[in-house]
Structure 1
Amino acid sequence: MRIGQTSFLQFVAEIAASAVGFVATIYFARVLGAEVLGYYSVALAVVTWLGISGKVGLSSAVTKRMSEETDSYAYFWAGASIIGSIFIVLAIGVFVFQSRLNAYIGEEVHLIVILMLAAVLCNSLFNAALQGQHKVHIYAVLKPLKIGGRAIVQVALVVAGLQLSGMLVGYSSGWMLSAFVAAVVLAPPFERPTRRHYERLVDFAKYAWIGRVQGKTFSEVDILVLGALVSSTLVGVYSIVWALCSFFLIFGYAVSTAMFPEISKRDTNDERGRVGTLTTEALSFAGFVLIPGIVGGLLVGDRVLAIYGTEFIEGQYVLPILLFGSLLYSYFDQLLNTLNGIDRPDISFRVNGLFIVANVVANVVLVEAIGWAGAAVGTTISAGMGLVAAFYALRERLEFELPLAEIARQWVAAIAMGAVVYPVTTFVGPPSESLESTAVTAGIVAGGAAVYVVVLFAMSAHFRNVVRNNAPIDIPRVTGR
């Protein structure tokens, strides 16, 4: 399967998953309110960080070593044994410090946290193996399955009156379902790992772990900081804003997920020119969805947030800031993806270290100084610093072109979209959570997206070629740059 098709399949699967999650989140926001969502978000952030501690870069190492196509399953079982051992230690730690953990989250959920930790570690291991075996198309399909199953269980448990506990147990069910299906697909035969397998895993993981920290620092540190410094209601509003930003990050993640095994394989074969071309392609499309998302966030952010409930409209002021930070992070992520693909986790380690320190410090300082909006500003500043550092680090080791013209065309298309959308917003009524207002907002968003794609298709020969080369049907040629 071609990389473009794999990326597109990944994107479609992510969109389907996000659509399910979007509808479920609207239900939870309206039924439970911002305060319970605040507790829920903090609990998920805690599990996320415990999960990172449990993987310490091993999932990335499993993907990398299995993608090299030698002794694949020996690396899988080596990773499984290490992760299993770390889980036992972490579970004991959660049980010992349960009182402090429960006080921070706001509810007694330590046993559920242990269950969630086991689920996330299993899911991470099996999904890493799928990617390492170049089964990215299967990995992509698991995402909507995971989120769909999770949403069904969560809704059922919330209806039954379990609220926060139901939300957390339901979230675990999605991870467990995904891990089970991946295990069935892989059916990993046992290959006894040797000391060499453990050493090569650890050699990559000792640098790659910080990459996992980097990713979750971007999406979770602000939640953890806000959880300690502001009300749960504001944390809940901020988490909804982050949910929207996560939707716009989907395409960039799809590109990097599809690119990594190919970059790793090309580098192993010493095809550096091809690696540079793949990096340029990744950068060309990292902002494909985020750039119009920023323009849309400025124009209709209040209307979109109102769908969750009027108490969430307050988040309209931080939404554009976080979207811009997400754009910078998407480019940053593509560059780090290449650094890891060319087996330079040591360089990624240094760049990630800078990003993590900057993110934590900026969030704490700015939240204390200007309130909850400081979390969005701090996250954006740190993403920009990480992008600059990653660019110079990679440029010293690989020749690649910056697709500035293509990025500029995406901005022009997004501005054209805004020129069409803005007059419409002045004629429709104020945002609300009513069905009529929701339908109007959906129409505006869909129309704006159509304008963006059509304008970009007309302007960009590169975009047309990518669409034409990966489309299942023949598309007529259009002249243009």
Structure 2
Amino acid sequence: MTEARELSFSLEISKAAIAKFLMAAVGFAGTILFARVLGPLTFGGYYLLFSIVKFADRPLGGLSVAFKKRFSEPNAEKGRIFGFALLSIPVYMLFLGILAFLARGYLSSYTGLNHAFFLFVLLMVTTGFFFPLQALIEGLGKVSIATWIDLVRSLLTTPLQIVLVLAGYGAAGIAGGLSLATLLTIPATVWFLSLRPVMPSVETARHIWSYARYSIPTVAIGKAYKQLDLLLLGLLVGQTAAGNYQVAFVLTLPSLLLTEVLGNGLMARISNAISDRAIATDLTNSLSYTGLVSIPVFFGSLVLSNDLVVTFYGPEYSDAAILLIGIAGYRMVQSQSEMMYQAVAGLDKPRTNLVVGFSTISVNILLGVPLILEFGAVGVVVATFFSEVIRYLAFRRVLQVEVSSVQFYTRPLGEQFVSATIMAVVVYVARGQIPVNSWVGLFGMLCVGVVTYGVVLFVISEHHRTTALAIADAAGLFQ
């Protein structure tokens, strides 16, 4: 079976990135429709429920990280790890279902959805099986295959959701469409593993648990940190504020698409590496390119935030414009720190990730609660931004010790900042000459921004030109 280090990292990332952006485009179109049809209250209520689902499945998420880590190691007993995954997932599902039944009244009152318990179980069961199996494929270094399977899931999800929502099922239609599409793509995930499950031994369980005992709380804390803003807004402000926050959150999703793909590949790559030099090279290159999208998204939000929110979602969501700028800034920092998190995980340092994660969420809560009470949704975004800066600095310090030759500030990263700054100036000038009062005007401004950023970056950066040509050659475009 092919090992992660034997695959072309740049080609795998490129193919996965294409799928990731297509997936985001499909999902984004769906959220626009759902936000307009359902309104802020129901739209926010669904995402409050989904945030609870994603928080509750974190033990499985932590196990998935452990599966991926052990799966990616040289000479791993892959069949036994696969078997352990298939045995452990249903056990946790049963436990979680009992807890959800006991808390069914609270689920309904918190989200404002009448059938919250049934929707919770539906989402939990389907996604709970899908993502751990995806992690095993990523553990083989086949990030592109895992991402393209997820793209197929998205292509099935959005049409199913649209049909169910327009049929009058509301939030239940969104949950049902996602669950059905996920269920349909699980067999493809199993098929691409091309692996027969084997009954795990006690030694296999111990080997997985030695990593999972740290990765489970780390992932739980990490998801709580990522969902904390939405949960606090639902608790302290209300569903409408959560809906506004979700709109801004979705608009900045492109920032992390490349980061997610790079991180998924980097973790397996470092875990499977056989030299410190290879680790330093892969990490430096990943840090150089992870801001390729998040940096221009932030600079673009400075000049187009209100136009983006109002044009896509409607004037009732205009309060989300200021949130968009803050979340885009947070995403820009996160694109770097998330890459470092994956590197530390690949270095077999799960305890370090746990300590950093706990420290970060503690700061976020201590800052977030008083700032929300004082400034509302803006306060929670400010708290999250400063918490992410602290997370970045902590991981940077760890990697300076563990991988001494890694470079955090590289020429390609600086060239991205220069190109994004020029882009923002050009868009600002064009925005003053051509009012954005329709979809056509907004699309024109976005095209101006994308073309300006791409052209400037291509002209001033020899590194980006060389990389783009190398990827095209590896993909066979010049043959």
Which TM-score applies when normalising by structure 2?
Answer: 0.94
User: Residue in 1 aligned with 2:130?
Assistant: 123
What is the DSSP-based 3-state SS (H/G/I as helix, E as strand, rest coil) of the residue aligned with 2:291? coil
Q: Shift of residue 324 of structure 1? A: 0.9
Determine if the alignment matches structure 1 residue 342 to structure 2 residue 347: yes
Distance 1:159 1:117 in 2: 24
User: Residue in 2 aligned with 1:240?
Assistant: 247
Distance 1:459 1:313 in 2: 37
Distance 1:334 1:370 in 2: 31
User: Residue in 2 aligned with 1:479?
Assistant: none
Distance 1:246 1:177 in 2: 25
Match of 1:205 among 209, 212, 215: 212
Distance 2:224 2:290 in 1: 19
Contact in 1 for aligned 2:222/2:357 (Cα 8 Å): no
Output one character per residue of 1:290-342: Cα deviation in whole Å (capped at 9) or x when no partner.
11111110111111112111212221111111111111111111111111111
Q: Shift of residue 231 of structure 1? A: 2.7
User: Residue in 2 aligned with 1:320?
Assistant: 325
Distance 2:218 2:141 in 1: 21
User: Residue in 2 aligned with 1:87?
Assistant: 93
Match of 2:40 among 34, 38, 50: 34
* Structure 1 counterpart of 2:471, one-letter code: N
Distance 1:309 1:181 in 2: 38
User: Residue in 2 aligned with 1:374?
Assistant: 379
* Structure 2 counterpart of 1:29, one-letter code: A
Contact in 2 for aligned 1:256/1:337 (Cα 8 Å): yes
Contact in 2 for aligned 1:30/1:308 (Cα 8 Å): yes
User: Residue in 1 aligned with 2:461?
Assistant: 460
Output one character per residue of 1:139-194: Cα deviation in whole Å (capped at 9) or x when no partner.
01012211221111111111110101111222222332332320232253121210
* Structure 1 counterpart of 2:468, one-letter code: V
User: Residue in 2 aligned with 1:434?
Assistant: none
User: Residue in 1 aligned with 2:156?
Assistant: 149
User: Residue in 2 aligned with 1:77?
Assistant: 83
Distance 2:124 2:448 in 1: 41
Structure 1 alignment gaps of length 5 or more: 432-436, 477-481
> What are the equivalent positions in structure 2 for 1:31-430 lying under 5 Å apart?
31-53=37-59, 55=60, 57-68=62-73, 69-108=75-114, 109-266=116-273, 269=274, 271-306=275-310, 307-399=312-404, 400-430=406-436
* Structure 2 counterpart of 1:274, one-letter code: A
Distance 1:215 1:3 in 2: 26
Q: Shift of residue 205 of structure 1? A: 0.9
Q: Shift of residue 112 of structure 1? A: 1.6
Distance 2:188 2:225 in 1: 29
Contact in 2 for aligned 1:287/1:327 (Cα 8 Å): yes
Q: Shift of residue 255 of structure 1? A: 1.1
Contact in 2 for aligned 1:468/1:474 (Cα 8 Å): no
Contact in 1 for aligned 2:42/2:112 (Cα 8 Å): no
Distance 1:406 1:3 in 2: 18
Distance 2:444 2:220 in 1: 38
Contact in 1 for aligned 2:61/2:132 (Cα 8 Å): no
User: Residue in 1 aligned with 2:4?
Assistant: none
* Structure 1 counterpart of 2:122, one-letter code: L
Distance 1:358 1:217 in 2: 13
Distance 2:217 2:434 in 1: 47
Distance 1:474 1:85 in 2: 46
Distance 2:14 2:444 in 1: 24
Output one character per residue of 1:456-480: Cα deviation in whole Å (capped at 9) or x when no partner.
111112212211211148999xxxx
Output one character per residue of 1:183-231: Cα deviation in whole Å (capped at 9) or x when no partner.
2322531212101110111111111123423442343111111011113
Distance 2:292 2:450 in 1: 11
Q: Shift of residue 404 of structure 1? A: 3.5
Distance 2:403 2:43 in 1: 44
Contact in 2 for aligned 1:154/1:171 (Cα 8 Å): yes
Distance 2:264 2:58 in 1: 18
* Structure 2 counterpart of 1:87, one-letter code: M
Contact in 2 for aligned 1:154/1:167 (Cα 8 Å): yes
Structure 2 alignment gaps of length 5 or more: 1-6
Distance 1:173 1:363 in 2: 36
* Structure 1 counterpart of 2:125, one-letter code: A
Q: Shift of residue 107 of structure 1? A: 1.6
Q: Shift of residue 352 of structure 1? A: 1.4
* Structure 2 counterpart of 1:305, one-letter code: V
Q: Shift of residue 28 of structure 1? A: 1.0
* Structure 2 counterpart of 1:24, one-letter code: G
Contact in 2 for aligned 1:63/1:128 (Cα 8 Å): yes
